[in-house]
């Protein structure tokens, strides 16, 4: 059962649209069933239920990114386009997060191709980490994501899911749609690659060495 709890405004191109904010009173199984049947109200609620988690994961995989909102929208377009494949509502959350990881992977690969064949504008500090008030923390975050930008997509994803999103290895494997053994191999390579690249960033390298000496990583 769906009940309205007010209205929300959103931009669609040059237009501003208003639609009801809905609360679901039924089971998640019933919600999934209604979305599969292309119930627009249920689809809106599905977005409301998972948008925060998808937004959070995109941030942790990419940092503050000018394409963040577009990527979140792409995730939900993919979700709605293939949700008929979900047979068990208990797997819905993990499936949506896997699509999030796959969407980010596709974007990282597109960017790698663009960097190889054309010159792209580097993001400004405001676009990257300007919202972080502490100057040292902002600088370290920018350096860390700069290092991650130089890593292959698969290595970056397992590294970010493990150390930035702090997920256990079995969950990382599920989200990346690969075996636990594959994740462990990729993570070992990612750790070495990150350490080597970070050594070129003095402040970040020093912070990593201090953390290692304390046993933090």
Segment 150-170 shows an average pLDDT of 95
**Range 79-100 burial, b when 16+ CB lie within 10 A, else e:** beeebeebeeeeebeebbbebb
Question: Domain spanning 1-120 has what CATH number?
Answer: 1.10.1740.10
pLDDT in the model for residue 177:
94
Judge whether residue 58 has pLDDT over 60.
yes
Which CATH number among 3.30.450.20, 1.20.1440.130, 3.30.450.40, 1.10.10.10 corresponds to the domain 127-217? 1.10.10.10
pLDDT at 114: 84
- Contact call for residues 176 and 183 (beta carbons, < 8 A): yes
pLDDT digits (tens, 9 = 90+) for 105-114: 999 999 888 8
Query: Using CB atoms within 10 A of its CB, is residue 18 exposed (0-12), middle (13-18) or buried (19+)?
Result: exposed
Could you tell me the residue ranges of all domains in the chain? 1-120, 127-217
Across 115-141, average pLDDT: 56
Q: What is the pLDDT of residues 136-155, one digit of tens each?
A: 666 777 788 888 999 999 99
Q: How far is 135 from 85, CA to CA, in rounded Å?
A: 46
- What phi and psi values does residue 177 have, to the nearest 5 degrees? 55, 45
């Amino acid at each position: 059962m769906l009940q309205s709890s007010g209205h929300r405004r959103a931009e669609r191109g040059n237009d501003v649209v208003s639609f009801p904010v809905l609360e679901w009173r039924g089971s998640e199984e019933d919600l999934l069933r209604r979305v599969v049947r292309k119930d627009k109200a249920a689809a809106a609620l599905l977005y409301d239920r998972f948008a925060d988690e998808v937004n959070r994961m995109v941030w942790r995989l990419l940092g503050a990114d000018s394409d963040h909102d577009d990527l979140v929208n792409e995730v939900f377009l993919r979700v709605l386009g293939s949700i008929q494949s979900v047979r068990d509502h208990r797997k819905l959350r993990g499936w949506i997060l896997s699509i999030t990881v796959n969407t980010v992977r596709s974007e990282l690969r597109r960017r790698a191709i663009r960097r190889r064949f054309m010159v792209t504008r580097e993001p400004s500090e405001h676009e990257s980490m300007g919202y972080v008030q502490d100057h040292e923390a902002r600088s370290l975050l920018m350096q860390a994501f700069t290092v991650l930008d130089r890593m292959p997509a698969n290595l970056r994803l397992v590294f970010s899911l493990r150390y930035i999103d702090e997920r256990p290895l079995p969950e990382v494997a599920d989200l990346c749609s690969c075996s636990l053994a594959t994740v462990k191999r990729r993570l070992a390579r990612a750790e070495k690659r990150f350490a080597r690249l970070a050594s070129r960033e003095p402040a970040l390298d020093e912070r990593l060495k201090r953390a290692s000496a304390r046993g933090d990583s």
